[in-house]
Amino acid sequence: MIILGIDPGIGRVGYGLVEKIGSQLKAVTYGCIETPKTDDHGLRLQMIKTDLGKIIREYKPEVIGVEKLFFQKNVKTATAVGEARGVILLLCSESGARVVEIGPGQVKQSMTGYGNADKKQMQQMVKIIFKLEKVPQPDDAADALAVAYAAAVLQ
């Protein structure tokens, strides 16, 4: 089973694909979709849709985990990320995959056993669990692998 984890954003969307074979999980690939701050907001949303669509078509995940937003102090940023998340959810739903929305606390709990783990703890657990040589960079890619892990555990 292929599981895609997504860490939504407008400037950067993290993605991580894992393969589940029995009870074993293996990282397949991970990275980020980046959109230039200088581009029109609508164009940035289109870039996210196009690039994420390519990943979904190539790997054909059966399950897609999308991280829920946590409260943002900056309303402008929260609105932009919410719009990007809407595009992501629509695209994922249209793919036919099972879409699982996962809160940040659930991701942390599944990775570390502690729902308030900090970013460094999460990144180290991603490295350990997936037997990677180093922590995936940028952070959004590591976060997306953690979301994929949580989605796999919730299966």
pTM score of the predicted model: 0.94
The residue ranking higher by pLDDT, 69 or 56, is 56
* Residue-number span of the structural domain to which 111 is assigned: 2-153
CA distance 140 to 52: 14
pLDDT in tens, 62-116: 999 999 987 667 777 788 889 999 999 999 999 999 999 999 989 999 988 887 8
Q: What is the CATH number of the domain that holds 10?
A: 3.30.420.10
Task: Judge contact between 107 and 151, C-beta under 8 A.
Answer: no
Catalytic residue numbers read: 7, 67, 140
> Does 12 have pLDDT greater than 90?
yes
Provide the number of structural domains found in the chain. 1
Per-residue tokens: 9: 């954003």
The CA R_g of the chain, rounded to the nearest whole Å, is 14
